[in-house]
Amino acid sequence: MATIKDSVHDHIEVTGPPEALLDTPAVQRLRRIRQLGTAQYVYPSANHTRFEHSLGVYHLASRAAKRLDLPERDAVHVEAAALLHDVGHGPFSHNIEALTHRRTGKYHDDVEELIASGQVGEVLRDNDLEPDRIARLIRGEGQYGQLVSGELDVDRMDYLVRDAHHTGVPYGTIDHERLIRELTFVDGELVLDEGNVQTAESLLLARALMNPTVYKHHVARISKAMLRRASERLLDADSGAAADVDAERLRRMDDHDLIVALRSTPETEAFSRRFDERRLLKRSVWAEWTDVPGWILDADHREIRRIERGIADAADVEPTDVIVDVPPEPSITESSSRVLVSGEMRRLDEQSPLVSALRTAQKGQWRLGVYTRRKLTDRVGRIAADEMDIDADGGLVTDIRTNVYHTLDEFEL
Amino acid sequence: MATIKDSVHDHIEVTGPPEALLDTPAVQRLRRIRQLGTAQYVYPSANHTRFEHSLGVYHLASRAAKRLDLPERDAVHVEAAALLHDVGHGPFSHNIEALTHRRTGKYHDDVEELIASGQVGEVLRDNDLEPDRIARLIRGEGQYGQLVSGELDVDRMDYLVRDAHHTGVPYGTIDHERLIRELTFVDGELVLDEGNVQTAESLLLARALMNPTVYKHHVARISKAMLRRASERLLDADSGAAADVDAERLRRMDDHDLIVALRSTPETEAFSRRFDERRLLKRSVWAEWTDVPGWILDADHREIRRIERGIADAADVEPTDVIVDVPPEPSITESSSRVLVSGEMRRLDEQSPLVSALRTAQKGQWRLGVYTRRKLTDRVGRIAADEMDIDADGGLVTDIRTNVYHTLDEFEL
Amino acid sequence: MATIKDSVHDHIEVTGPPEALLDTPAVQRLRRIRQLGTAQYVYPSANHTRFEHSLGVYHLASRAAKRLDLPERDAVHVEAAALLHDVGHGPFSHNIEALTHRRTGKYHDDVEELIASGQVGEVLRDNDLEPDRIARLIRGEGQYGQLVSGELDVDRMDYLVRDAHHTGVPYGTIDHERLIRELTFVDGELVLDEGNVQTAESLLLARALMNPTVYKHHVARISKAMLRRASERLLDADSGAAADVDAERLRRMDDHDLIVALRSTPETEAFSRRFDERRLLKRSVWAEWTDVPGWILDADHREIRRIERGIADAADVEPTDVIVDVPPEPSITESSSRVLVSGEMRRLDEQSPLVSALRTAQKGQWRLGVYTRRKLTDRVGRIAADEMDIDADGGLVTDIRTNVYHTLDEFEL
Amino acid sequence: MATIKDSVHDHIEVTGPPEALLDTPAVQRLRRIRQLGTAQYVYPSANHTRFEHSLGVYHLASRAAKRLDLPERDAVHVEAAALLHDVGHGPFSHNIEALTHRRTGKYHDDVEELIASGQVGEVLRDNDLEPDRIARLIRGEGQYGQLVSGELDVDRMDYLVRDAHHTGVPYGTIDHERLIRELTFVDGELVLDEGNVQTAESLLLARALMNPTVYKHHVARISKAMLRRASERLLDADSGAAADVDAERLRRMDDHDLIVALRSTPETEAFSRRFDERRLLKRSVWAEWTDVPGWILDADHREIRRIERGIADAADVEPTDVIVDVPPEPSITESSSRVLVSGEMRRLDEQSPLVSALRTAQKGQWRLGVYTRRKLTDRVGRIAADEMDIDADGGLVTDIRTNVYHTLDEFEL
């Protein structure tokens, strides 16, 4: 049995097949992938990795399996899935996932091949575990998949608390111990036991506050957008370190690889210097949902790139100096989490008036961003608003101040 | 200067007139009044007192005054008001306030006399401070009164964090430092600066989760109702320790006095034994807002007592064995807190869809309780539902389980 | 099963006979006895009680029993002993124990009668548990007694962390989880497993730092000495509330009882006002071990009282205005705790050079105090030093400043 | 003014020249250098960086300067020195410093050139600050240099607390706020004010416990030794990525650069795979101070390498499979920290018996290690003990178990 000291859950015991999985290259690689990608540009102490997060998720899965009294064989599959649930992540976690998905058709939880092959596959076979079943659990399929990836999964229980601990933002500090204790299965559905409407709401609210403050802080969004565009140029470059980087290889890099590849490829070198020195682009448009015409919301990646080029041409600036960032419509997945009320299983959004309010609130927080160099914000902003028919006040961009969700007077912005 | 170590704010510096106020009997008395009254029956570690809370409120007020750059004389009045804001509390804080208010016409913030007289009055006069002005600040009057008692006051910033620290329930862990940093005055109104809709919401949500989990947990409500009824009998008794206890004297007692007076008065001795041994009454009715007819919601104290006697008679039990507990309609005072949005001052309820959702949610959490001895719950419950025309399912009481907001399987209940 | 939320250990599960013991008056009484007696005069947030501490000790005992794989029947006796280990405490915990011991011959861990009788006795008999065995465990007798009261007991593991949490002084923050995990039995002795010299030292050092900072802070010592003397007067009084208080009754009081008895007895009323208002005596002598002649160190209680009267007479002040406080020689009980080193069981003081250094350091921290009213410190100090042949510098008292271990500029001193 | 959220100190305000320094490449580079190098192999959550540590040191320096009432110009130099004190660190902090020092003659605090040139130099000149003076402060020279690097410096106050927060090991949790408050200057020496012997001891003890548990944990030592040897091979290689890496360039790399350079250089590729997959060498000798002959303690780097080759030859294994790790004699720098006692300035080692005990204890913790592949530990161990005349029990290596200071049952060892 391995006992590992963790800053969030204190001592974590890893035993059985998961202990052997810990030693595999695929899991050890997670030590070199930051949990929150570029969020450390906003919260400098947020340098925690997918490795410790995976340990934490394993720990909570193991405790949940015990409390729910899962059969031995089911429990060990759930635990293995918890430990492995993030091995499919590329460098900087979600930051460049849109790109790798576009090029490979795979998301980070498409891990069938990864866990069936290599040392992970060996360990699983040696222990008579089924890679396919684990892959399905990771995608949230089946009754027990809800524990690993679902509205009440142990993944988010860990990351909320861990991100709060490492950023210093207290909003994520949920009562994860209580959540674990109240889980139960009813008719094959994972639900919170009687008297836990509040408990379910607390999970929802913690995410609702961490979202704009941490995960979607505009500096995190800008740096992420910059990194994604640079990685795209890396894939399309045919010189320097990138010469043999394709999307599959990119997906399997760690943070070290990607950063150094960007540095040593001529097409991305200038970017990487900006990135290393935190000279980030600035917002020139920051438009609310209601200001944005439908055709932009519907635009796909190719269309967005076309718009960017149009703006760059009209403003007479370098194409790399304009990024248009259109987030998808916000959703609240916890809304369908289930609680027992008077012995009856109910969806949280049927039970709690907060859910629909949060849905509205999230749409209110949605922003389309156009980013450019500091000196060009005014020029690019006017042109971009015009090009995209954004209904901006006085022909200008939306007042940026209204959307600074965290008052950190950032030193660079 | 006094430097005091606090479990929540670490080192607190008290200087100037507040330092002299610390030494007065009225402030030292707060050491013997528990902040959360009987909530320690649910959360055993919640034994913190109004004294340390008052120090914490002073600390935050002092920091806010500095950040808001208040004129010296205004700042010291605000600081004194913060330190003194709870000297009017009776034993067990809010627990018996409804009773003392009924008998004396005064709430805990009616402190004109208290702070104008005695050593507090002396200190104020010696330092050329105005007791009247401080009393008004404590009631939240005037521009600076908003800092002491208002939608964004330092009182709740302290108690949420402190109650979280001592109960172990994390929901109250707000970012008080950020709140203090973002306060500003606009046209004489205390508001949160640009970009703080989320910050304002976080305060609201922390209270919304602490309310059912801690402050209005049914065991806290039951023990509080029992204590209030026993204190009423104490006032009406004419024997034992209580012989000379009137409502004014009761208000000035500390927790020690009240407990011992209840023990040594024949009329309340049996109660005090139950109380000391945590043999609390149980819920026999626990009805939702929608089940309760309007005439009960409108009933005053006298009427409620009449109903109690009616139920006791009909059920043929002792009058002291039935307590009817009808809470007032819930309200969200933070809803009118103000934030700057695009340079314009807006009420939070205009800006955030969460406010009205919380209002609905709170009404959903409201419960009328009828409490009695464990053995009598069934009999008393049926009769009480009948007497009060409560629309209870199948002529019976509302299912209690749906309303246990905290799953502590309480050892006594 | 009862699940109780604790500010230190989060969720504590109480099950089996201990759950029934929780409901007994003897255990519920601990809710009304402050863990640190008068230490709240130094650390205002230190209002935690023996009740939550007892729950914590039960929790750690239960975990240790599980890890050590104790037989079911042994485990439940250990758990019961952990929960009951403090039921013998009088009001304000250790503060007046010297007095009650002198008058009754009993220490707080002499609990044979207490747990054999009343509801505790009933519960034990109903569950077929042996009160005598539990009493012996509480006194640290037998192999498993070491878990409850010994050099590596769960009692101090809980109180160090709990006192740190509630005072705000971080020194007590030990790694209790690791300590529990490393306990093992070798030849019937409780030892720490291989590689834990440091772990053992950390426990020792945490106490060595908490001692002068919290437990023996001079304000805690003064208020404790005052309370003890007042309680002695209460026992000797024959009027007021004290008329029928004897030492046995005193021992069974709670904090409320004692405070109110002191208030309502003419002989102690003046004291109780000082106490309530924190007008504590001050140090007039504060002498080091090396300055104090042997005959004082050897003096018994009667002799100390004679010295006090001598000083009071010579200084022409009230006898109650002089308290001579001679602490016993310091000892380090952890010094004999055992660790495995190279497969061999060794005493910590054989293994760690820190132990004898701490012994010397503690003697260096020892102080004899003579306390009196603020105005009399100079006069009483000179006379006391003279009467007791204390080798004080320049005929005057030892420089007080050298011994203020915590720099809190106390508001009253 | 920049306000930055930190997981340890909450909000940190950076203002004046330090705010401009934050934006320089030299400071931003610290974001990519882990504070504890390879310690994350023992404590997976220890991924914090020199950047946030530097911010923390700046924060404490700024608070200390304010409390000590430093003249404006002195204060800003101290603050700049605090923020810049670690810019000289190479990749993985101290891990390869012995190597870079041997090749360049410079330690991490030899920063004259670094801060006189580039953007840092520009910012300093623009703000009329003296690079030389800052460099001297960083090396602890002059009266105010003691604040930045000395026995009571703000550097260790930050790192103890920060390392505790991120590893989860509580021993480093000192009362830094109190330390800052008690600093004072007497005759140009930085001392702790009256009554702080304990405070000084607490700093000493925190380090004494963190040292073996975290900083010198054997897994941290092994991985560090491996990394240092691999980096040496990198410098001596003439192919792959390393072709143009000299010691000066190595010193200016960040963690990303070094890792990728090791991966892409044939001579170090095998090592980097072991490193990435945490297949670390194991201990084959682990000898105490008393077992080791003087000539080994006196051996320089060249001599140690000769011994390694001798062992490898005799054991017939690859030279890269043997690492001999001889740490320097331990020292306790805090021992000369000064405290005021009775108005007189005293060195802590004169005042506290703990200091010399800790000195002895540290010598007792010292270990010489010989590391090799798991399968070879027995063979290499016997030969190494023989070659080095180590007085090992029964011709074999010292019992490893006695020296595992942390019981984490490491999954890989």
The beta-carbon neighbor of C202 closest among D193, D209, D401 is D209
Share of chain C above pLDDT 90, in %: 73
What confidence score (pLDDT) does residue C405 get? 33
Which residue in A has a C-alpha nearest to residue C11's C-alpha? Answer: A177
What confidence score (pLDDT) does residue D114 get? 93
Residues in chain A: 413
* Confidence tier at C358 by pLDDT (50, 70, 90): confident
For residue D283, the surrounding DSSP H or E stretch is strand D282-288
Q: Which residue has the higher pLDDT, A296 or B351?
A: A296
Which residue in C has a C-alpha nearest to residue B22's C-alpha? Answer: C411
Q: What is the mean pLDDT of residues D319-325?
A: 95
Strand partners, C346: C339
Three-state secondary structure along A250-263?
HHHCCHHHHHHHHH
Q: What is the mean pLDDT of residues D352-365?
A: 84
d(CA D307, CA D313) in angstroms, rounded, equals: 10
Q: What is the pLDDT of residues A317-357, one digit of tens each?
A: 999 999 999 999 877 766 778 998 878 898 888 888 888 88
Q: What is the mean pLDDT of residues D359-388?
A: 89
What confidence score (pLDDT) does residue D407 get? 34
Picking from A256, A263, A275 by the largest number of D CB atoms within 10 A of its own CB, the best residue to mutate is A256
Q: Is C402 a residue whose pLDDT tops 50?
A: no
Q: Which residue has the higher pLDDT, A391 or D225?
A: D225
d(CA D51, CA B340) in angstroms, rounded, equals: 33
How distant is the Cα of C340 from the closest Cα of chain D, in angstroms? 8
Q: What is the pLDDT of residues B101-119, one digit of tens each?
A: 999 999 998 899 999 999 9
Which domains does chain D carry? 2-183 (1.10.3210.10)
Q: What is the pLDDT of residues B243-255, one digit of tens each?
A: 778 999 999 999 9
Q: Is D281 a residue whose pLDDT tops 90?
A: yes
The beta-carbon neighbor of D10 closest among B3, B11, B177 is B177
The beta-carbon neighbor of D169 closest among C170, C175, C407 is C175
| Arithmetic mean of pLDDT over chain A | 90
Q: What is the mean pLDDT of residues D33-56?
A: 96
d(CA B160, CA B206) in angstroms, rounded, equals: 7
Let me know: does C132 contact C112? Beta carbons within 8 Å.
yes
Contact between chains at C49 and B49 (C-beta distance less than 8 A): no
DSSP per position, B96-156 = GHHHHHHHHS--TT--HHHHHSHHHHHHHHHTT--HHHHHHHHTT-STTHHHHSSTT-HHH
d(CA D225, CA B111) in angstroms, rounded, equals: 69
* Confidence tier at D334 by pLDDT (50, 70, 90): low
How distant is the Cα of B58 from the closest Cα of chain D, in angstroms? 19
Within 8 A of D411 by CB-CB distance, chain A residues are 2, 4, 14, 19, 22-23
Which tokens is C285 given? 């002598």
How distant is the Cα of B339 from the closest Cα of chain D, in angstroms? 20
Torsional sign, CA B346, B351, B355, B360: positive
The beta-carbon neighbor of B2 closest among C24, C256, C409 is C409
Q: What is the mean pLDDT of residues A39-43?
A: 94
Which residue in A has a C-alpha nearest to residue B181's C-alpha? Answer: A407
- Using the 8-state DSSP alphabet, how is residue C16 labeled? S
Q: Is C403 a residue whose pLDDT tops 60?
A: no
Q: What is the pLDDT of residues D138-170, one digit of tens each?
A: 999 999 999 999 989 999 999 999 999 999 999
What confidence score (pLDDT) does residue A15 get? 93
Within 8 A of B408 by CB-CB distance, chain C residues are 2-5
Report the range out of B103-112, B341-350, C241-250, D399-408 with the highest average pLDDT: B103-112
Q: Is D241 a residue whose pLDDT tops 90?
A: no
Let me know: does A126 contact A19? Beta carbons within 8 Å.
no
Q: How many pairs of residues across A and B have Cβ atoms under 8 Å apart?
A: 102
Within 8 A of A42 by CB-CB distance, chain D residues are 5
Q: Which residue has the higher pLDDT, B332 or D40?
A: D40
Q: Which residue has the higher pLDDT, C371 or A240?
A: C371
Share of chain B above pLDDT 70, in %: 94
Strand partners, D10: D6
Question: So what's the ipTM on this one?
Answer: 0.93
Q: What is the pLDDT of residues B126-174, one digit of tens each?
A: 999 999 999 999 999 999 999 999 989 999 999 999 999 999 999 999 9
Residues in chain B: 413
A344-383: burial string, b at 16+ Cβ within 10 Å, e else = eeebbbebbbbbebbbebbebbbbbbbbbbeebbeebbbb
What confidence score (pLDDT) does residue A303 get? 96
Q: What is the mean pLDDT of residues C217-245?
A: 90
Q: Is A257 a residue whose pLDDT tops 50?
A: yes
Q: Which residue has the higher pLDDT, C230 or C353?
A: C230
B97-112: burial string, b at 16+ Cβ within 10 Å, e else = bbbbbeeeebebbbbb
Q: What is the mean pLDDT of residues C243-258?
A: 92
Cα distances (angstroms) measured from residue A193 to each of A74, A205, B260, B361, B366: 21, 19, 41, 19, 20
Within 8 A of A181 by CB-CB distance, chain C residues are 3, 11
* Confidence tier at C239 by pLDDT (50, 70, 90): confident
Contact between chains at A411 and D4 (C-beta distance less than 8 A): yes
- Using the 8-state DSSP alphabet, how is residue D6 labeled? E
Picking from C13, C174, C177, C199 by the largest number of A CB atoms within 10 A of its own CB, the best residue to mutate is C177
Angle, helix C154-167 to helix C50-67, in steps of 10 degrees: 140
What confidence score (pLDDT) does residue B118 get? 95
Contact between chains at C403 and D195 (C-beta distance less than 8 A): yes
d(CA D367, CA D374) in angstroms, rounded, equals: 19
What confidence score (pLDDT) does residue C140 get? 96
How distant is the Cα of D77 from the closest Cα of chain C, in angstroms? 29
Q: What is the pLDDT of residues C173-205, one digit of tens each?
A: 999 999 999 999 999 999 999 888 888 899 989
Within 8 A of C28 by CB-CB distance, chain B residues are 276-278
Q: What is the mean pLDDT of residues A269-297?
A: 92
The beta-carbon neighbor of D11 closest among B3, B11, B177 is B177
| Arithmetic mean of pLDDT over chain B | 90
Contact between chains at D353 and C357 (C-beta distance less than 8 A): yes
Q: Is D323 a residue whose pLDDT tops 60?
A: yes
Give Cα C264 to chain centroid, integer Å.
Answer: 27
Share of chain A above pLDDT 70, in %: 94
Cα distances (angstroms) measured from residue D316 to each of A189, D233, D310, D374: 61, 21, 10, 15
| D307: nearest Cα among D289, D325, D292, D294 | D325
| C139: nearest Cα among C209, C85, C103 | C85
Torsional sign, CA C199, C203, C209, C213: positive
Strand partners, B10: B6
Q: Is D404 a residue whose pLDDT tops 90?
A: no
Within 8 A of C342 by CB-CB distance, chain D residues are 399, 401-402
Which tokens is D366 given? 């010292």
* Confidence tier at D393 by pLDDT (50, 70, 90): low
Q: What is the pLDDT of residues C71-88, one digit of tens each?
A: 999 999 999 999 999 999
Q: Which backbone phi and psi does C287 adopt, to 5 degrees?
A: -105, 145
* Confidence tier at B392 by pLDDT (50, 70, 90): low
The beta-carbon neighbor of C6 closest among B44, B51, B277 is B44
Question: What SS3 state is found at A4?
Answer: strand
- Could you give the residue ranges of the DSSP H alpha helices within B316-391? 348-351, 353-365, 377-387
Within 8 A of B40 by CB-CB distance, chain C residues are 31
Q: What is the mean pLDDT of residues D373-385?
A: 91
Exposed/middle/buried for residue B266 (C-beta within 10 Å: 0-12, 13-18, 19+): exposed
Let me know: does A382 contact A395? Beta carbons within 8 Å.
yes
Q: Is B405 a residue whose pLDDT tops 60?
A: no
Q: Which backbone phi and psi does D4 adopt, to 5 degrees?
A: -120, 135
Q: Is C34 a residue whose pLDDT tops 50?
A: yes
What confidence score (pLDDT) does residue A192 get? 93
Q: Which backbone phi and psi does A188 adopt, to 5 degrees?
A: 80, 0
d(CA A361, CA A398) in angstroms, rounded, equals: 18
What confidence score (pLDDT) does residue D275 get? 95
What confidence score (pLDDT) does residue C392 get? 63
Let me know: does C113 contact C134? Beta carbons within 8 Å.
no
Within 8 A of D3 by CB-CB distance, chain B residues are 181
Let me know: does C77 contact C163? Beta carbons within 8 Å.
no
User: Taking the CB of residue D108, how many other CB atoms lie within 10 A of it?
Assistant: 19
What confidence score (pLDDT) does residue C166 get? 97
Within 8 A of D399 by CB-CB distance, chain C residues are 342-343
* Least confident span in C83-97, C289-303, C345-359: C345-359
d(CA C352, CA C200) in angstroms, rounded, equals: 9
Q: Which backbone phi and psi does C7 adopt, to 5 degrees?
A: -70, -20
Q: What is the pLDDT of residues B267-283, one digit of tens each?
A: 999 999 999 999 999 99
How would you classify residue B92: left for phi > 0, otherwise alpha for psi between -120 and 50, otherwise beta?
left
d(CA C5, CA D190) in angstroms, rounded, equals: 45
d(CA C4, CA C51) in angstroms, rounded, equals: 12
What confidence score (pLDDT) does residue A37 get? 95
Three-state secondary structure along D127-145?
CCCCHHHHHHHHCCCCCCH
* Confidence tier at B393 by pLDDT (50, 70, 90): low
Picking from A178, A180, A182, A193 by the largest number of C CB atoms within 10 A of its own CB, the best residue to mutate is A178
Q: What is the mean pLDDT of residues B85-95?
A: 95
Q: What is the mean pLDDT of residues D310-328?
A: 95
Cα distances (angstroms) measured from residue D233 to each of B137, D162, D245: 72, 33, 11
Picking from C36, C411, C412, C413 by the largest number of B CB atoms within 10 A of its own CB, the best residue to mutate is C411
d(CA C62, CA C58) in angstroms, rounded, equals: 6
Q: Is B409 a residue whose pLDDT tops 50?
A: no
For residue A186, the surrounding DSSP H or E stretch is strand A183-186
Contact between chains at A342 and B201 (C-beta distance less than 8 A): no
Q: How many pairs of residues across B and C have Cβ atoms under 8 Å apart?
A: 132
Question: What SS3 state is found at D88?
Answer: coil
Residue with tokens 């910050």: B199
What confidence score (pLDDT) does residue A334 get? 67
Half-sphere exposure of A410 (CA within 13 A, CB side): 20
